[in-house]
Amino acid sequence: MSAFGDTKAITPPDIRSRKGGTPLVCLTAYTTPVARLVDPHCDVVLVGDSVGMVLHGLPSTLGVTLEMMITHGQAVRRGIKQALMVVDLPFGSYEESPEQAFRNAARVMSETGCTAVKLEGGETMAETIGFLAARGVPVMAHVGLTPQAINTIGGYRVQGRGGDAERIRRDAIAVSEAGAFAVVLEKVPEALARRITGEVAAPTIGIGASAACDGQILVVDDMLGLFGDFRPKFVKRYAELGEAAAAAIASYAHEVKERQFPAAEHVFADAPKHAGTQATKSGEAA
Ligand code: KIV
């Protein structure tokens, strides 16, 4: 149930109980129309801080603010009927202390109506995850490649290929034991994802982490071909909407210049003499 009290919505315990079952379907959304499209097909809709790069043109997620997450969270909430809605806590809004995390998570939940929050980090965030979970804030954890730590990691490389595999494994175990209801595993090798998925109680949700995970998540603009700044290997494009949109805009520009648009069917005629203005069914003057 969300802060809006819709009783049929998928809950964090529902997600946790799906461990080892039919894979969980998860996508991001940042706007009401896209939330309406993804909601019927998804178990989880994430208002990811990827919104900063995808919709606001930022170079990383580091510049995303709590206010941005709340604005997009409110928009997405209006488009969700059944999926579990999760909102990312942005960089700087939770790392300082469990109390800071609770204050900002509670604000995000009450102002957007989301059911849960996501935060990045493993062993170092376990205490915070336990603190939040014990106070009514369901937490989705995020380990492996954690984009908010891009400056300390040094790039968007695959994580856990060498000596850091054991650290990522410990991170996943720590956040699951702390009470996270699900763990996002980003950009780790298949063998590590399989091992972690077999070891942790919470379902793992992979992004660039193979089908061994308990579910998958993608950035919706990536899989629709709307975000072209870069194309990670783990993204499958299910549509090329960016190309379709560019072609449509070029056609419009051509037709405007050639006076082909607007055509007769888009133009309003004068009112018939003596008849007054008649309203059509659509409410437009004919
Ligand atoms: O911000 C985001 O969209 C995410 C997903 C890619 C997991 O964290």
Distance between Cα 256 and ligand 1 center (Å): 39
Is 50's C-beta closer than 6 angstroms to any atom of ligand 1?
yes
The band of 274, judged by pLDDT with boundaries at 50, 70 and 90, is confident
d(CA 286, CA 270): 9
* Residue 127 annotated among the catalytic residues of the structure: no
Is residue 280 predicted with pLDDT exceeding 70? no
- Residue with the smallest CA separation from ligand 1 atom 5 is 48
pLDDT in tens, 199-222: 999 999 999 999 999 999 999 999
Is residue 161 predicted with pLDDT exceeding 60? yes
- What number is the average pLDDT over the span 126-144? 98
Distance between Cα 120 and ligand 1 center (Å): 10
Distance between Cα 49 and ligand 1 center (Å): 6
Q: What is the per-residue pLDDT for 163?
A: 87
pLDDT in tens, 75-106: 999 999 999 999 999 999 999 999 999 999 99
Q: What is the per-residue pLDDT for 231?
A: 84
Rg (CA), the chain: 22
- Per DSSP, which regions of the chain are E strands? 24-28, 44-47, 84-88, 116-120, 139-144, 182-186, 204-207, 215-218
Q: What atom of ligand 1 comes closest to residue 46's alpha carbon?
A: 3
Q: What is the per-residue pLDDT for 25?
A: 98
Please say whether the beta carbons of 79 and 85 come within 8 A: no
Q: What is the per-residue pLDDT for 162?
A: 86
Ligand 1, pocket-test mutation among 56, 76, 117, 186, most atoms within 8 A of CB: 186
Catalytic residue chosen out of the listed positions 95, 177, 186, 243: 186
Strands 24-28 and 204-207: unpaired
Q: What is the per-residue pLDDT for 225?
A: 96
Q: What atom of ligand 1 comes closest to residue 147's alpha carbon?
A: 8
